[in-house]
Amino acid sequence: TLTNEATSASRTTQTNHLGEYAFANVDPGDYTLKVSMQGFKTVENRGIHIGTQQFLTLDFTLEVGSLQESVTVEGATPLETSNASVGSTLDNTTLETLPTAGRNPFFLAITTPGVVATGDPQFVRQQDQTNSSLLSLGGGPRRGNNYTLDGVSIVDIRNRATIIPSIEAVEEVKVQVSTYDAEIGRTGGGVFNMTGKSGANAWHGSALGQARPGGARALSFFAQKACDTDASACAKPPTYAYVYAGSLGGPIVKNKTFFWGSIEGYKTKTIDDAVVRAPSAREISGDFSLSGVTIFDPLTTRPDPNHPGQFIRSPFPGNIIPANRISPVAKAMQPFWPAAGPASAALVDVSKTLTFKLDQQWSPNFHSSAMYGYYKSTEPRPRSYLKNGETQPIGANPADPGDGALQRHVHLIAVNNTITPNPTTAAHVRFGYTTFTDDCVPVAFDPGTLGFASSFVSQVPQKKFPYIGIGGYGTDYNGVMFGDRPVIQSDYYSWDANASVSKLLGRHTVKFGASYRKIGLKEFAAGQTSGEFFFDGQFTGGPDPLNASTADPHALAAFLLGIPSSGDIPISTPNNFFINYYAGYAQDDFRINPKLTVNLGLRYEFEQGLQEKNNEFTVGFDRNRTWPFQVPGVTLKGGLMYAGVDGYPTHQSDPSKTKFAPRAGFAWSIDPKTVLRGGYGLFWAPFQYAFPDENNLGARGFTQVTDYVASTDGGLTPCATCSISNPFPSGISKPSGSASGILTGAGGTVNFVDQFRKSPYVHQFSLDLQRQLPGQLVAEIGYIGSRTERIGVGGNDSGVVNINQLDPKYQSMGSALLDQVPNPFFGDSRFGAFADNRTIARGQLLRPYPQFGDLLAHQVSAGHAVYHSLIVSLERRITSGWGGRINYTLSSNKNNIFGEHNQFSNNSNSLSRPINTYDLEAEYSNSITEARHHLNFAVTGELPFGRNKSRLSQPGLARTLFGGWSITAVGSFQSGFPVAIVQDNNNSGVFGRIQRPNLTSTSPTTPGSTESHYDPACACINNWFNPAAWSIAPAFTFGNSPRTDSRQLTPFKTQTDVALQKVEPLGGSRTLMLRAEIINLFNNAQFNGPNTRFGSSSFGQIASTRGFPRLLQITLRFAF
């Protein structure tokens, strides 16, 4: 008989003729197992903890005697001897004990081996669904994991956990890095399996308040450097963080009906530190005479008489742009320029979440539970251009990239039913529903006040501050100078239904199950509704425009002249996207003998490609379809495929229909304290989707994008009829649906989702040896590996393949590719912007689809990855007042997923495209998320003072003051990430939009610690790289630098958090806890990645940090 010690609910079974027994679908908790047989003593094992997705084997030897005689055993945590899966469990005691800045039960998984965090550790609160999901498990792609709550998946179409429950609502989290149970599917990495708390016969609850005194917060690294030289910069801006939480649970009907409810919320004011890269007032006026960089006049571009086949430009006289050449838009935006140097803005966030769970024991054989979760937050972005912790109301400065706010709320329902019709059979039926509203609506602003032409302003779909990117300027050199995020209104939703039946048959425990999910998104991705425009130095560098230095002032000069290098404006319509997912599986856990168990499973899955409710989107690009008319000198073919039109399918991609996933594992008990486990599993990973907009979802036609035409001669000179003041002289295109068919987008850039995208899959394999040591310690050494195939390039980011790149064989033509030749599209409006000029660059006519600009294929399934790791760990579950874990991971992670990003590594977003579409294998290198060395520890222990301790155990003042204290420490030490070096000027000549420099024989490493590289002249970490390690690739060649470079990694990451807490008994089960946490005890800076744009004047500079400086949190918690 298995009895839940909290609810008294019990289940009874009988052994079969082999003496085997099984309890399937057991809820996590503490249990008593009672074994009795006529003629033998009764054995009772108490305090058995059964965790989430845990498989325990407990064998008993009965002694001869009477049933009235009993043998009682206090349960210890046994080794997992019946399953090969690899993972760790974070129980409620661990979740409540570990110091954390965000009270995020998912993010505490970073103490688990094989888990790498690539997001900003500052943003791990309830509201941070996106950042909290940027975790790589077992070498898998970040955000490639599955998240479940009470057995129901809670991920959205972007594979984010939609709700982050309060720790007060969570019983435990099982972090499954490698799992071989056929019940698990739709993951490319691992699984976060969370179980919500349930009520019991005894009343329990809690009330918590937490405060973060702003005066106890240390200065960040760069703020401290500013303070060292300027006493006025030492003042700490006022910050605060107030958290409240509570829970209550107990019986409604004893032994029958129970409930558990929780609530948590906060209001925080944090500081976002950065360095603003902004020009001087002299430069803003067009005077570059003191800038040390020569600015060239794009209107002087001409053939070089001394070098046939090359071109030359002349500089502006005196290096000053004449006032009459400066764009009226640039003049109007002068008041919006921020001051250069350190920026420090306050960010005020408000959020709350609540849960309610109801459990019903209908009979000894029928149990149900239902859980509801709710979350709401208002999330302004950090103001990029404020100082000294200032704050502004939304709309105070619409030019600031941090203006505006996200509005989010979530609803969750999870229903579970467990039925045991007989002692050897159990059935489980689940249903779940989640909805996640994620809206971003920036403040209204009239771009006409900036000098934009009235003909343009009258057509914009929603007036806001235009989005302006100027290469090398902004915060962290990211080029975003003005304008808030795009207009987005999103409603993510998910339905989940699954059922399973398990049966004990001899030595076999078999399980069969099926699952259905519908994952969708109701989307109105309006985008940058007043346009987005980007400036670099391609038109203002020189003297040779094809091999020009493009240091940052060149991009500013282009902005002043009003000549963007790219831009666009969208007009959108609402969409309703969804995916249907079906799965079935069979699992057999065969206990061959008491020492050896074999796990065998087979899963079948089918995930349809993305669909749209009304077929209002595209499903690919038909590369071979001939146009209904032709023009002289070129062959016109290719065009967008509209869902359900002309025989095209109604779903994107080419998903596999025979997705069988075999699983196999074994657990061999070498002796009672040693287990060898190993396994293999094939997993079909989910399709991954980037930021939901017209480009990534393929809504062209229904969401119409009008591209800015920067040049008509291959980038030698700017477009004569276009400028920032009047960027779209031919007008802004309106959505036309599928009416234009394959002619849609001619004369411009077209984005689409690749129709040849296949279902990605992952081979996972592992082998580990566990040994139980004295003191309830468990030591483990093991290997985890994986091989991923057909993963979408870009992962969950916007990686694209330009199928209209010029074939590299034409690079030998050199500058002849730029020669102006008669334009066969001239005067024909069906070719959009290509119809405006009588001549066109020869290279354009040599492209595979000459009537188009770039043809950008999203989610191309050309990615593959290989991961190997060695893991050593020592762990003790927290019992008898102490416990913890320490683990070390040595790993290698390589792939060609060129679109994947890492917030600590590639700030310049330099991996969004391959250098050469015709050779994607050239992108194979170290993963941007590879952390070769990673050491974690998390330990807690009670001090030997107070009640039932060796010292000060007698009542009195000394015991009151010094008794009941414990200390917890968590540390992480991780090597840096690889970096992605790109060349600042793209001179490959193939319309590839990205170039890399050549390697030299010089090492890129520079001596000294990170801190020793601080340069007060730029208020940054300078010269992180030795620039002599690279050289500019010559025009019409590809640079030979790899996609990522591991010779000089990003700075080492380290952080230690500690907590000191006192628990004072108040009688009965009541306790009062006082807790002080120091986050980032040693104030270690977690530096952002360096500027990796070779040729930029800020190359190798690090201008900001992520995470928190040292801060203090005080918590008071009453529990009963």
Q: What are 1009-1046's pLDDT values in tens digits?
A: 999 999 999 999 999 999 999 999 999 999 999 999 99
Q: Kindly state the average pLDDT of the residues 299-313.
A: 90
pLDDT, tens digit, 9 for 90 and up, residues 342-374:
777 777 889 999 999 999 999 999 999 999 999
Q: What is the pLDDT of residue 616?
A: 95
Residue 39 pLDDT exceeds 80: no
User: 771, 778 in Cβ contact below 8 A?
Assistant: yes
In degrees rounded to 5, what are phi and psi of residue 922? -65, -15
Distance CA 473, CA 403 (A): 18
Distance CA 1039, CA 77 (A): 57
| Per-residue tokens: 735 | 């959505």
Distance CA 864, CA 972 (A): 29
Residue 910 pLDDT exceeds 70: no
pLDDT, tens digit, 9 for 90 and up, residues 698-725:
999 898 888 898 988 878 899 888 889 9
Q: 74 falls in which pLDDT band (50, 70, 90)? A: low
Q: What is the CA radius of gyration of the chain?
A: 31
Q: How many other C-beta atoms are found inside a 10 Å radius of the C-beta of residue 586?
A: 15
Distance CA 619, CA 615 (A): 9
Q: What is the pLDDT of residue 1055?
A: 95
pLDDT, tens digit, 9 for 90 and up, residues 232-270:
888 887 788 999 999 999 999 999 999 999 999 999 887
User: 608, 583 in Cβ contact below 8 A?
Assistant: no
Q: What share of the chain is helix, strand, coil (3-state, %, to 5)?
A: 10, 45, 45
Q: Counting every residue, how long is the chain?
A: 1120
Those residues with Cβ within 8 angstroms of residue 18's Cβ, 6 or more apart along the chain or in another chain: 506, 507
Q: What is the pLDDT of residue 733?
A: 86
Q: Which residue do the tokens 């129980």 mark?
A: 91
Tell me which of 118-127, 305-314, 997-1006 is least confident: 118-127
Residue 73 pLDDT exceeds 70: no
Range of the domain at 37: 2-74
Residue 698 lies in a domain: yes
Residue 816 lies in a domain: yes
Those residues with Cβ within 8 angstroms of residue 227's Cβ, 6 or more apart along the chain or in another chain: 219, 233, 234
Burial of 1078 (0-12, 13-18, 19+ CB in 10 A): buried
The amino acid present at 928, given as its one-letter code, is I
Residue 472 lies in a domain: no
Q: What is the pLDDT of residue 186?
A: 94
From residue 884, give the alpha-carbon distance in Å to each of 30, 176, 681, 810, 939.
20, 18, 30, 62, 4
For 317, which DSSP code?
Answer: G
Residue 909 pLDDT exceeds 60: no
Could you give the number of structural domains in the chain? 2
Pairing of strands 70-74, 42-50: parallel
Q: 739 falls in which pLDDT band (50, 70, 90)? A: very high
Q: How many other C-beta atoms are found inside a 10 Å radius of the C-beta of residue 361?
A: 21
Q: Kindly state the average pLDDT of the residues 967-975.
A: 95
H or E segment to which residue 957 belongs: helix 957-962
Answer with the one of 74, 106, 138 that is the final residue of a domain.
Answer: 74
Q: Which residue do the tokens 């008071």 mark?
A: 1116
Answer with the one of 74, 94, 125 that is the final residue of a domain.
Answer: 74
Those residues with Cβ within 8 angstroms of residue 635's Cβ, 6 or more apart along the chain or in another chain: none
H or E segment to which residue 663 belongs: strand 659-671
Residue 362 lies in a domain: no
User: 180, 84 in Cβ contact below 8 A?
Assistant: yes
Residue 640 lies in a domain: yes
Query: Which of 10-24, 117-131, 610-624, 686-700 has the highest mean predicted lDDT (pLDDT)?
Result: 610-624
Closest by CA position to 835, among listed 709, 745, 749, 747: 747
Distance CA 165, CA 173 (A): 11
Closest by CA position to 148, among listed 392, 488, 434, 347: 434
pLDDT, tens digit, 9 for 90 and up, residues 515-561:
999 999 999 988 899 999 999 888 999 898 887 766 679 999 999 99
User: 668, 677 in Cβ contact below 8 A?
Assistant: yes
Q: How many other C-beta atoms are found inside a 10 Å radius of the C-beta of residue 1068?
A: 8
Distance CA 559, CA 468 (A): 9
Residue 30 lies in a domain: yes
Pairing of strands 982-983, 1093-1094: parallel
Residue 908 pLDDT exceeds 70: no
Residue 591 lies in a domain: yes
Q: What is the pLDDT of residue 453?
A: 92
Tell me which of 70-79, 388-397, 497-506, 672-681 is least confident: 70-79
Which one is predicted more confidently, 759 or 6? Answer: 759
Q: Kindly state the average pLDDT of the residues 742-765.
A: 94
Closest by CA position to 183, among listed 148, 156, 155, 159: 148
Q: What is the pLDDT of residue 630?
A: 94
Residue 718 lies in a domain: yes
pLDDT, tens digit, 9 for 90 and up, residues 1054-1089:
999 999 999 988 988 899 999 999 999 999 999 988
From residue 763, give the alpha-carbon distance in Å to each of 105, 145, 244, 603.
28, 15, 44, 14
Tell me which of 70-74, 138-142, 679-683 is least confident: 70-74
Cα dihedral 830→833→834→835 (10° resolution): 60
In degrees rounded to 5, what are phi and psi of residue 738? -95, 10
Answer with the one of 40, 74, 108 that is the final residue of a domain.
Answer: 74
Q: Number of helices (H) and strands (E), helices first, in the chain?
A: 10, 59
Distance CA 598, CA 956 (A): 57
Q: What is the pLDDT of residue 634?
A: 94
Residue 44 pLDDT exceeds 80: no
Q: Kindly state the average pLDDT of the residues 674-692.
A: 91
Distance CA 548, CA 534 (A): 18
